[in-house]
Amino acid sequence: MSVTYIDAIREAQETLLREDPRVFLYGQDIAAFGGAFKATKGLAEMFPDRVLDAPISEDAMAGLAIGAALQGMRPIIEMQFADFSSIAFNQIVNHAATHFYRTGMPVPITVRLPSGGTAGSGPFHSQSMEAIYAHYPGVVVVTPATVADAYSMLIESVNLDDPVIFCEHKFLYRWLKAKSFQGDGLPIGKARITRMGRHATVVTYSAMVHEAVRAAERLQKESGWEIEVVDLRSVKPLDIDTVLASVARTGRLLALGEAFPWGGVTAEVVSRVVADGFHLLEAPPMRLNSRDTPVPYHPKLWAAHRPTPESICDSLRKLLSY
């Protein structure tokens, strides 16, 4: 018996709806249809007043969530794909994110973004938006990589008083399995050492945690290198203490992400490690991201656009040979 990453997201929402009358779900095709990815399957039958279909209006969906949150509710809105949240960008970063600082009244909304690439999804159903939202003050951005984190961090997100962008990776939805939803109980804002190592640190998040672990296992088998993998879990707040402690042990850093290479989370990690831990480094820190093009449609192009265990191993070999 096993549960998947998407089961965790569905189960967390059921738990929230059952235990907290302030919670409601709003999104396109999420009620009777159960959502494009079935993350809300069966929930509308159980909670017919609180699982509502939205028109194709991402701006108004986010605005509605903000207004409801100001009246004491805890809305979860599902963007059908993270890519479409660009339409809601104004409401999220200008309305929700500024509200606590401006007025002293927080806006507890959770925006679920089905994120990241899958084979054949193309430029508009594959994006990773975490860095764009994290850039703005007042937004929490979480990027769970495990089944247990998907479950516990969604519940924690809804219980936070601040707006949360919940980046759930579509590639992990059905592929990633676990025995249960129970995890180690780490809170949002704390990174996890997913794999211990001595020779280099890979700092990553979301689906790339699993690619990094594959690369680490391969290098260990091939050459005996012991690679440490740090899962950031949330990109904002960014747990730079755990990252620096790891770099202090290994002396080498590869910041890995699936998002586009200009700026972003990997650049933030490298700049902070260089600024705060230059003396810890035995080699120039490296970054590995997707290529600087839109996410391509064909699986052969897509597989070469995003980091893979092969390209991660190549980067690590360069890092280790410096």
Residues designated as active site: 125
Among 24, 37, 166, 302, binds other proteins (CB under 8 A): 24
Among 80, 91, 115, 127, binds other proteins (CB under 8 A): 91
Locate tokens 């620096």: which residue? 244
Q: Which residues within the stretch 36-55 sit at the binding site for other proteins (CB under 8 A)?
A: 49-50, 54-55
Among 71, 278, 300, 321, binds other proteins (CB under 8 A): 71
Residue 155 near other proteins by CB under 8 A: no
Among 239, 247, 250, 290, binds other proteins (CB under 8 A): 239
Residue 24 has phi, psi (to 5 degrees) of -140, 155
Residue 19 near residue 69, CB atoms below 8 Å: no
Residue 222 near residue 206, CB atoms below 8 Å: no
Residue 129 near other proteins by CB under 8 A: no
Query: How many C-beta atoms surround the C-beta of residue 280 within 10 A?
Result: 18
- DSSP output for 296-310: PSSHHHHHHHS--HH
Residue 203 near other proteins by CB under 8 A: no
Among 10, 112, 169, 236, binds other proteins (CB under 8 A): 236
Among 97, 155, 215, 255, binds other proteins (CB under 8 A): 97
Q: What is the smallest separation between the CB atom of 22 and other proteins, expressed in angstroms?
A: 9
- Fill in the DSSP letter of residue 164: E
Q: Which residues within the stretch 249-308 sit at the binding site for other proteins (CB under 8 A)?
A: none
Chain centroid offset of residue 288 CA: 17
- The Cα 320–Cα 146 span in angstroms is 28
* Of 6-14, 28-36, 87-95, 199-207: span binding other proteins (CB under 8 A): 87-95
Residue 44 near residue 56, CB atoms below 8 Å: no
**Cross-strand partners of 110:** 76, 164
Strands 3-4 and 177-178: antiparallel
Q: What is the smallest separation between the CB atom of 261 and other proteins, expressed in angstroms?
A: 22
Residue 205 near other proteins by CB under 8 A: no
- Fill in the DSSP letter of residue 278: G
* Of 60-68, 110-118, 246-254, 298-306: span binding other proteins (CB under 8 A): 60-68
Residue 75 near other proteins by CB under 8 A: yes
- Among 199, 201, 247, which residue's Cα sits nearest to residue 223? 199
Residue 67 near other proteins by CB under 8 A: yes
Q: What is the smallest separation between the CB atom of 267 and other proteins, expressed in angstroms?
A: 15
Residue 250 near residue 198, CB atoms below 8 Å: yes
Task: Give the up-direction half-sphere exposure of residue 303: CA atoms within 13 A in the CB hemisphere.
Answer: 6
* Of 6-14, 68-76, 223-231, 301-309: span binding other proteins (CB under 8 A): 68-76
- Among 233, 174, 178, 207, which residue's Cα sits nearest to residue 6? 174
* Of 122-130, 132-140, 166-174, 306-314: span binding other proteins (CB under 8 A): 132-140
Interface contacts to other proteins, rule CB under 8 A: 24, 49-50, 54-55, 57-73, 75, 87, 90-91, 94-95, 97-106, 137-138, 140, 160-162, 187-190, 236-241
